[in-house]
A and B are shown apart, each in its own frame.
Chain A
């Protein structure tokens, strides 16, 4: 009888984490550079006498890890690997701006004597940018605005830096009681408080904005009280071979924490995630393998 064709595995197709309670998938990761399952056993040797070799050997512990190399970042990955699920926002047909919040002092964001609010300027939604801004009281009744990045300055009306301090206002904006003043070329406006304006010079406040968009998400990672790394199951599938052979591994119970965000010039961001495979007492196992060679590819 001739030998059968050797069983080989090739490539990686997908990694699908699933909820341990419901079995529902969190999502699927397909931009994968690798999903390596490592099983390393520690062995304890019995040495003695004049024998240079062990009399016996038994396994003590086995580490079971999955090393994921991925090139995509989905909301469910933040939940599993960063400990917090992002808030996924609905489409914003006019863009959006956050609430003005005092950073230094309390006079800039002030309902009566400062700036009551920052908002979208009517008719200028096309100029709202993906930006993060600082408002600085230049004097008692005027402010300058600074932007942390110019990545989106070209959207709609072009904004520009006025100096190396990243100021975007060529002239300090005058804040008047109850009136709105446009922050030039941003699609945004500041509305003065209801009383006599009287800010403290060099006090600051911050806000951010999003352009007209189809989707967006926000997450705060690292909260001392709101960080949970849930256990999950995972289905790993290798690439289908030309002859139709497929391999699936079902890791019954996994835990992971940490997902780096490498940003390199001229390269797609790819990160490595370490996943621990644990023993699942309900399944009485760590993982299951399923392999098939279909009759037809």
Chain B
């Protein structure tokens, strides 16, 4: 897919592909961390602790497990 960046992350149980282009607008607000995300943004800079939020909120799609 053109314009889509994929970053492979290795995990103990295998590797998971994550598409880190925002599919919708979203705001992460937790203590001192504030990140306003617009649809189409590259969210690879978002700390991993928020990836579950991004997936649950439909901001990014979780890729297939290898």
Seen from chain A, the residues whose Cβ lies within 8 Å of a Cβ on chain B are 139-142, 171-177, 179-182, 196-198
Q: What's the Cα separation between A182 and B52 when bound, in Å?
A: 19
Q: Is B1 an interface residue (CB 8 A)?
A: no
In Å, the complex CA distance between A11 and B4 comes to: 87
Interface size class of B (residues with CB under 8 A): 10 to 19
- Which of B28, B30, B49 has the most A CB atoms < 10 Å from its CB? B30
- What B residues does A182 contact at CB under 8 A? 31
What are the interface flags for B22-66 relative to A under an 8 Å C-beta threshold, 1 for contact and 0 otherwise? Answer: 000001111100100000000000000110110011000000000
In the complex, are the beta carbons of B56 and A174 less than 8 A apart?
no
Report B38 CB to chain A, min CB distance, Å: 15
Task: Say whether chain B's binding surface is mostly helix, strand, loop, or mixed.
Answer: mixed
**What secondary structure prevails in chain A residues at the interface with B?**
loop
| Contact A196 to B49, CB < 8 A, known contacts A171-B34, A179-B30 | no
B52→A171 contact, CB < 8 A: no
| C-alpha spacing A171/B29, complex, angstroms | 7
Name A173's contact: one of B30, B49, B56 (CB within 8 Å): B30
Q: What CA separation (Å) do A179 and B50 show in the bound complex? A: 11
Query: Could you tell me the distance between the alpha carbons of A139 and B56 in the complex, rounded to whole angstroms?
Result: 10
With a cutoff of 8 Å between Cβ atoms, the chain A residues found around residue B56 in the complex are 140-141, 196-198
Question: Complex: how many Å from CA A142 to CA B27?
Answer: 9
B58 to chain A: closest residue by CB:
A140
Are B27's CB and A181's CB within 8 A?
Answer: no
10 contacts between A and B (CB under 8 A): A139-B57, A141-B52, A141-B57, A142-B27, A142-B29, A142-B53, A174-B50, A175-B53, A197-B53, A197-B56
Contacts A179-B49, A197-B52 hold; do A172 and B29 have CB atoms under 8 A apart? Answer: yes
Residue of B nearest to A178 (CB): B49
Chain B residues near A177: list those with CB within 8 A: 52
Contacts of A171 in B (CB 8 A): 27, 29, 34
List the B residue with the shortest CB-CB distance to A196: B52
Q: Are B49 and A181 in contact (CB under 8 A)?
A: no
Contact status A174-B29, CB under 8 Å: yes
Complex Cα spacing A196 to B57, Å: 12
User: Which 5 pairs between the two chains have the least Cβ-Cβ distance?
Assistant: A171-B29, A174-B30, A141-B53, A181-B30, A140-B56
Q: Please determine whether B52 and A173 come into contact, CB atoms closer than 8 angstroms.
A: no
When distances are taken between beta carbons in the complex, the residues of chain A under 8 Å from B34 are 171
Q: How far is the CB of B66 from chain A (nearest CB, A)?
A: 21
Nearest neighbor of B51 in chain A, beta-carbon distance: A176
Identify the closest chain A residue to B33 (Cβ).
Answer: A174
Among A176, A182, A198, the one with the most B-chain Cβ atoms within 10 Å of its Cβ is A176
